[in-house]
């Protein structure tokens, strides 16, 4: 058995002292909960990656890639031609 010394704030010590006989159980439960949260986070990250890869494979989404310079490369898009006045003129007209 190992003895571990802890420094607790006065408030936390006040709450822990009445249940100090259960501290090993509380620590065990806390460690179990932390392990479950880490597993959940890993699952969420892998699921997110799988979804992004699936969307990228369909062409719905274009994922940024690292160029040789280490910067994100951006795909040039063909501008969409729309009729009517330029957006800047419409904004100025709205302000008046």
Whether 47 maps to a domain, the answer reads yes
Q: 11: domain range?
A: 7-61
Q: What are the pLDDT digits (tens) for 69-87?
A: 455 556 677 777 778 888 8
pLDDT at 47: 83
* Residue 42 located in a structural domain: yes
Distances (CA, A) of 96 to 33, 88, 89, 90, 91: 59, 13, 11, 10, 9
Provide the domain count of the chain: 1
Task: Please check whether residue 18 lies inside any domain of the structure.
Answer: yes
Q: Read off the pLDDT of residues 16-58 as tens digits, 9 standing for 90 and up.
A: 999 999 999 999 999 999 888 888 888 887 888 888 888 878 8
Q: How wide is the angle at C-alpha 68 spanned by C-alphas 62 and 70, nearest 5°?
A: 80
Residue 67 in any domain: the answer is no
pTM for this predicted structure: 0.43
């Amino acid at each position: 058995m190992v003895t571990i010394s802890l420094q607790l704030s006065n408030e936390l010590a006040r709450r822990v002292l009445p249940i100090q006989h259960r501290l090993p159980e509380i620590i065990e439960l806390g460690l179990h909960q932390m392990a479950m949260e880490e597993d959940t986070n890993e699952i969420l990250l892998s699921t997110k990656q799988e979804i992004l890869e699936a969307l990228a494979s369909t062409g719905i989404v274009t994922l940024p890639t690292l160029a040789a310079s280490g910067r994100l490369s951006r795909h040039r898009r063909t501008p969409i031609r729309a009729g009517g006045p330029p957006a800047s003129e419409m904004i100025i007209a709205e302000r008046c």
